[in-house]
Amino acid sequence: MVLTARQRDELNQAIHQYLLISYQQSAQLFKTEAAVKDGQIEADLLEKKWNSIVRLSKRVITLEQQVEQLNEQLAQAQAGKIQFNKSDDEQRLTPIEKFKLEGHRAGVNCVAFHPQYQILGSASDDGSIKLWDYESGHFEKTLKGHTSNVNCLAFDPTGKYICSASSDLSIKIWELKNHTCVKTLIGHEHSVSTVQFSDHGDFILSASRDKNIKLWEVATGFCKKTFSEHQEWVRCAVFSNDEKQIASCSQDQMIYIWVIDSGQVLHQLSGHEHVVEQVKYIPEHGAKQILTQQQQQNIQTINLLVSVSRDKEIKIWNTILGTNLFTLSGHDNWVNGVSFHPDGVHMLSVSDDKTIRVWNLKEQKQKKKIENAHDKFILKCEINKFIFATCSVDQTIKLWLLS
């Protein structure tokens, strides 16, 4: 593989930093010969990259063995020697606890995966943001700057920045390379509940207890548009799959679908009987498997939305038509968050009942329940390929393996 000029410079800087620790003369010779440019780079970056390569090599070997086993099973199945049943699918979807991450001094409100590297971010009521290596379970760095609870985190698509929302009324943008805050966005008049980057990283969407949703331009830090219709605290706001719409949910028990260009409300979705905690769009490849061919007719972009509520229910909505497709019931307490399995059909949810539940959206039913996944209320969850992260009032983050 041929490195780009930038990649070569970063590699040379990492080698130089590594040599500086124990081999100063060699480091100076290498700097001269390789024309290493001065710049800030993590001192242990080369070791981290090497450890990543070792872990990935082991993972590749494991996956190759699994592929070989599956090929053998497939050959046997085609020969009629074995048969698969539904229990195999349920076993495959069972989360297996890998790591328990401890370090926060208060409840953990949010977790977010880096889009490229094995970094997990966590936000807490202790006012801090922590970065973890989710492959090893090791703590990496604490980001401090907020003066109150940090409620939400989001990485930009390039992985260069992380954005945080806080009860101190501000949104901060942090540069990961130097772990420094490069912008603070001020404009909300109460706690900021959630933040999300657009797919290209040009904009940030925020929701607040001041009943407003704001669209911010990352380059300038200016608020480009404010959406105001909710009557109570806006708990969450997210971009649709095509980024032409926004979905928001509130303490007023309503879900609004907004047209971004006009700023107008397209649909008001009612049906929940308590605070709606989170909304999330189902990935399009999953939505296509849920809708029938007839339901997909004349729809260019399929925007199906999931909402979770303190009424213990999960609802799936067609946001183009503004209709409720079906409701999932099973949790025994407030439902706080959901995340989607890579297959697009299965969804995991977390709740104040301390359980993790696995749902088949196509079959519209629960497939698995993990009891006492945390000691206290589980607040949010996220999936990155086959790593599932949960965070809780018990001040911990747990990482689970999915197959």
* 356 touches 97 (CB < 8 A): no
Confidence class for position 90, pLDDT limits 50, 70, 90: low
Amino acid 289: pLDDT? 86
Tell me, yes or no, whether 63 and 99 share the same domain. Answer: no
Same domain, 175 and 219: yes
Bridge partners (DSSP) of residue 161 are 175
Q: 141, 154, 151, 148: which is closest to 180 by C-alpha?
A: 141
Residue range of the domain that includes 294: 90-401
- Kindly state whether residues 206 and 95 are assigned to the same domain: yes
List beta partners, residue 185: 171
**Would you state the structure tokens that stand for residue 403, as one six-digit string?**
């197959």
**Residue 33 region, left (φ>0) first, then alpha (ψ -120 to 50), else beta?**
alpha
State the Cα–Cα distance between residues 232 and 209, nearest whole angstrom. 7
Distance CA 185, CA 135 (A): 32
Got the DSSP string for 253-276? S-EEEEETTT--EEEEE---SS-E
Check if the beta carbon of residue 93 is closer than 8 Å to that of residue 358.
Answer: yes
In this structure, is residue 6 part of a structural domain?
no
Q: What is the CATH number of the domain that holds 121?
A: 2.130.10.10
Report helix, strand or coil for 400: strand
- For 103-144, write each residue's pLDDT tens digit: 999 999 999 999 999 999 999 999 999 999 999 999 999 999
Q: How far apart are CA 42 and CA 16, in angstroms?
A: 11
pLDDT score at 68: 76
Q: Which of 37, 54, 84 is the last residue in one of the domains?
A: 84
* Token pair recorded at residue 399: 């990482």
Record the tokens describing residue 19, joined without a space: 């040599």
Q: Are residues 223 and 305 in the same domain?
A: yes
Helices and strands (DSSP H and E) totals, the chain: 6, 28
Structural contact between residues 310 and 252, judged by C-beta atoms closer than 8 angstroms: no
Q: Judge if 94 and 67 occupy the same domain.
A: no
Does 61 map to a domain? Answer: yes
Tell me which DSSP letter residue 33 carries.
Answer: H
pLDDT band at 402 (very low <50, low <70, confident <90, very high): confident
Global pTM reads 0.80
Q: What is the pLDDT of residue 61?
A: 76
pLDDT at 91: 58
In this predicted structure, the answer to whether residue 294 has a pLDDT above a threshold of 70 is no
Within a domain: residue 30?
no
How far is the C-alpha of 176 from the C-alpha of 221, rounded, in Å?
Answer: 18
Q: What is the pLDDT of residues 248-288, one digit of tens each?
A: 999 999 999 999 999 999 999 999 999 999 999 999 888 88
Within this chain, do residues 77 and 141 fall inside the same structural domain, yes or no? no
Q: Is residue 34 part of a domain?
A: no
In this prediction, residue 300 carries a pLDDT of 65
How far is 142 from 371, CA to CA, in rounded Å? 31
Higher pLDDT, 75 or 234: 234
How far CA 81 is from CA of 86, 131, 154, 203, in Å, comes to: 17, 48, 48, 55
pLDDT attached to residue 1: 53
Q: How many domains does the chain have?
A: 2
Residues 294-318, mean pLDDT to the nearest whole number = 86
* Beta carbons within 10 angstroms of residue 3's beta carbon: 11
Q: What integer is the mean pLDDT of 320-345? A: 95
Residue 319 belongs to a domain: yes
- Asked whether 313 and 332 are in contact (CB, 8 A), the reply is no
The answer to which of 43-52, 99-108, 196-205, 322-331 has the lowest mean pLDDT is: 43-52
pLDDT of residue 43: 61
Tokens of 64: 């190759």
Last residue of a domain, one of 27, 55, 84: 84
Q: What is the DSSP string of 216-262?
A: EETTT--EEEEEE--SS-EEEEEE-TTSSEEEEEETTS-EEEEETTT
Q: Three-class SS of residue 339?
A: strand
Q: What average pLDDT does the structure give for the chain?
A: 89
One domain for residues 71 and 105: no
Residue 37 counted as domain residue? no
Q: Which of 56-70, 91-105, 362-376 has the lowest mean pLDDT?
A: 56-70
pLDDT band at 84; cut points 50, 70, 90: very low
Regarding whether 263 and 141 lie in a shared domain, the answer is: yes
Same domain, 160 and 251: yes
Among residues 25, 57, 84, the one where a domain terminates is: 84
Predicted confidence (pLDDT) per residue in 151-199, tens digit: 999 999 999 999 999 999 999 999 998 999 999 999 999 999 999 999 9
Say how far apart CA 372 and CA 376 lie, in whole Å: 8
Say yes or no: 245 and 273 in one domain.
Answer: yes
What pLDDT sits at residue 237? 98
Where helices occur in 23-44 by DSSP H, the ranges are: 24-34
pLDDT of residue 31: 82
Do 71 and 98 belong together in one domain?
Answer: no
Contact 237, 278 (CB under 8 A): no
Residue in the block written with tokens 């930009």: 156
Examine the pLDDT at 39 and tell me if it is beyond 70. Answer: no
Residue 309 falls within a domain, yes or no? Answer: yes
3-class DSSP state of 89: helix
Task: Summarize the confidence of residues 315-322 as an average pLDDT.
Answer: 93
Asked if residue 29 is part of any domain, the answer here is no
The answer to whether residues 159 and 229 belong to one domain is yes
